[in-house]
Chains A and B, each alone.
Chain A
Amino acid sequence: MRNNFSRALQTTIIFLVVGGVIALALGGYFSSASNVFTGSLVNLQTWFSSRFVAVREFLTAPRDVASLRERNAELESEVSELQAQVIQLQQRVGETEILAALVDFSRANPENTYKAAAVIGRDPSPFLHYVIINRGSNDGILRGMPVVTNQGLVGRVDAVIADAARVQLITDPASNVNVRLENAETDASLVGSVTGDLELELIPQETNVEAGDLVLTSGLGGGYPPDLIVGQVINVRARDFDLFQQATVQPVVDFNRLQIILVIVNFTPVDIAPLLPVP
């Protein structure tokens, strides 16, 4: 009985002491001591936390960078593929536009049969104005066939092999095309030059030629079919002491940007050389 009383008393005293200490702590009487304790605890936890974070980043961060780099490379590769596709599609759109214009031209001129060809090169010599096309005798191309675009006359086939042909442009110095001036209703001779300029020669002095007059093939000589558009007169040189007038012609075809051309395959040039009188 006495033991039970003393034990209860001890318990009560312990509770009172603990309660008193808590009350004093809550009342701020142990602040300095608790600050030291909690400060040490916080520092310890900070140390552990920082070390843990460092170790975790060491273990996980490189893996993330590697995967990000890999993903970045994949996306960059995808972007470059898409850019290449965009360029290809733009090129196809350009080619399609050219082909559509050529189809319109062939529909508007049903009397001729055309074979489309791509320009794949130019003559290595600067003296000559020739282009090389990717169609040859296997496609029915023959020497002398006229070559046009939807804009107008380009030239004629000069040499042919199985899968390619060489086309002499009308701007070539050795080119000579018989033409007619639509408004003046007169014939003339169109010659090229080393610079690619086109000159009209053999225009009779009495003919009234003006800038803007349309120049078409005449069909004389049998080298080209008639009525193919060649260009426009841009200036005329008429001198009293000359036998003929001369004129400069602006071609309708941009010869520097030739990409796709049409060969008129149902036109057979006539060789009139045997008919010419020999002096």
Chain B
Amino acid sequence: MRDLLAIPIILLAVVLQSSIVSRVPLLSGIADLPLVILAAWALQEGVDTAWHWAISAGLLVGFVSGVPILVPLIAYLFVVMLARLIQRRVWQAPLLAMFGITLIGTLFMHIFSLGALRLAGAPLPIVDTLGLLTLPSILLNMLLAIPVYAVMRDLARWMHPAPEFE
């Protein structure tokens, strides 16, 4: 039953992203709250619903946004996959892993969005886009990473309490 919590949390994250986070730009970049939440969630031990969260977030963001729906869906699934891979290797430094996933995930999301929108005919200059959108967005996502990781860690401990050994 607690797994269903993904839906209201992702819904809230997308609403916050659209109504608040998108209105706080740095240069032309904005933070990606669902991406950071997914990265933090997928890094938690005992969490096996990260894929569902990624699909929910991808569909919701694709529905709200003007970018093709496959872009956020694939990008968020990639973030979860990356987090799963890194979690097994860098499990002793979760914050480092969080920063790494946020950096690579944001880069992937932006490069993928850029490619998809250019294919759709939007004249987006690559250098300007990377300088004015991607770098500020990475910085903002990094700033969000620490508090979001702390919140998601508490949530994961509540949803998946560690077994007690006698």
Contact = CB atoms under 8 A, between A and B. Distances in A.
B108 to A, nearest CB: 14
B8 interface: no
Contacts of B125: 194
B13 to A, nearest CB: 10
Interface in B1-42: 14-15, 17-19, 21-23, 25, 27-30, 32, 34
A207 B111 CA distance: 39
Contacts of A173: 117, 122-124
Contacts of B67: 123, 125, 127-128
Main secondary structure of the interface of A (DSSP, over half): loop
Interface in B99-124: 110, 113-114, 117, 120-124
A125 B124 contact: no
Interface residues of B, number: 36
A156 B141 CA distance: 31
Contacts of B117: 127-128, 173-174
B18 A127 contact: no
Interface string A114-134: 000000111111111010100
A166 interface: yes
B80 to A, nearest CB: 18
B29 A126 contact: yes
A159 B66 CA distance: 9
A126 B25 contact: yes
From A158, A168, A193, A194, name the one whose CB has the most chain B CB atoms within 10 angstroms: A194
B137 interface: yes
B133 interface: yes
Interface residues of A, number: 22
B18 A195 contact: no
By DSSP majority rule, is chain B's interface helix, strand, loop, or mixed? helix
Contacts of A121: 15, 18-19, 22, 64
A127 B75 CA distance: 15
Interface string B35-75: 00000000000000000000000000100111100001000
B54 to A, nearest CB: 15
Interface string A165-196: 01010000110000000000000000101111
A128 B137 CA distance: 14
A90 to B, nearest CB: 20
A194 B123 CA distance: 9
A132 B23 CA distance: 12
Contact of B65 (A123, A174, A193, A196): A123
B132 interface: yes
Interface string A21-37: 00000000000000000
A125 B18 CA distance: 9
Contacts of B113: 125, 127
A99 B114 CA distance: 38
Contacts of A124: 14, 17-18, 21-22, 32, 34, 61, 64-65, 72
A123 B22 contact: yes
A122 to B, nearest CB: 4
Given A123-B67, A127-B133, A130-B66, 20 more contacts: A122-B19, A122-B23, A123-B64, A124-B22, A124-B64, A125-B61, A125-B72, A126-B28, A127-B114, A128-B65, A166-B66, A168-B66, A173-B117, A173-B123, A174-B120, A174-B123, A191-B123, A193-B128, A194-B28, A194-B128
Q: Closest 7 interchain pairs by CB?
A: A121-B18, A122-B22, A174-B122, A128-B66, A121-B19, A126-B30, A124-B17
